[in-house]
């Protein structure tokens, strides 16, 4: 099982290292645009140097053991391929995954990138056939938009499970990367259905640990302890 952060915020990534088990970072054009511009409504073009400097900082921060997923922005195969080669060369072929949309042109680009030995994450996957075709084209990860599918009335659970079943049956190297969650239960459902990986926002990660059922039990533990001992171990050890 893997878990990634869906962010380009350096401070959030640094904070996540304290958890000890973040396997990588996923980004998309919206996330990077927001991070570089500082807003969702920026209409002034930013210096390209700021973008590449930020990508370099992300790569350096993640080191050699955590993956970075960066998405191409062109609509056509030829330009997607060139973008992928530029990003892979700059950020490290072994630990950088090029995110490519699961479109007709995108699947062609996936195949071409895969043939060059460049790692690929198929993104914007919202159907079983999109996921299967991306896998057959050589995608290393298939990023399903779980809540996005549900919002359009698709059977998100069924598609997730069917894709995982096919990946297992076909013995493919492709892993499911579940993304786009509205609730912690969405994340749990994807793991329960066999997803190899999920990518979540910083806030969603914290929400996954904020189970309201846990609070009364923890308050009871604390109350019982304080009635008898009144202090934590760090203070009690000084009394012996």
Which of 58, 68, 53, 55 lies closest to 98, judged by CA?
68
SS3 59: helix
Q: Which residues pair with 4 in a beta bridge?
A: 24, 199
Task: Answer left, alpha or beta for residue 145, where phi above 0 means left and psi between -120 and 50 means alpha.
Answer: beta
Sequence-distant (6+) residues with CB within 8 A of 216 are none
What residues does 119 pair with on adjacent strands? 97
Which among 25, 14, 17 is positioned nearest to 199, based on CA atoms?
A: 25
Q: Which residues are catalytic?
A: 99
C-alpha gyration radius of the chain: 21
């Amino acid at each position: 099982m893997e878990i990634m952060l869906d962010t380009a915020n350096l401070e959030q990534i640094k904070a996540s290292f304290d958890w000890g088990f973040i396997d990588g970072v996923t980004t998309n054009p919206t996330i990077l645009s927001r991070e570089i511009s500082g807003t969702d409504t920026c209409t002034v073009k930013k210096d390209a140097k700021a973008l590449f400097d930020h990508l370099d900082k992300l790569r350096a921060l993640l080191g050699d053991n955590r993956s970075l997923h960066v998405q191409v922005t062109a609509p056509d195969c030829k330009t997607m391929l060139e973008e992928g080669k530029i990003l892979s060369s700059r950020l490290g072929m072994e630990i950088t995954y090029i995110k490519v949309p699961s479109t007709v042109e995108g699947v062609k680009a996936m195949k071409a990138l895969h043939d060059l030995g460049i790692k690929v994450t198929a993104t914007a996957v919202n159907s079983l056939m999109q996921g299967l075709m991306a896998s057959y084209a050589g995608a290393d990860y298939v990023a399903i938009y779980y809540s996005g599918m549900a919002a359009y009335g698709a059977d998100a659970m069924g598609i997730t499970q069917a894709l995982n079943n096919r990946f297992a049956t076909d013995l493919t190297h492709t892993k499911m990367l579940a993304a786009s969650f509205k609730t912690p239960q969405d994340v749990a459902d994807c793991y329960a259905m066999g997803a190899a990986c999920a990518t979540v926002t910083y806030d969603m990660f914290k929400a996954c640990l904020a189970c309201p059922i846990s609070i009364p039990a923890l308050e009871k533990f604390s109350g019982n302890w304080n009635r008898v001992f009144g202090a934590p171990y760090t203070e009690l050890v000084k009394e012996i």
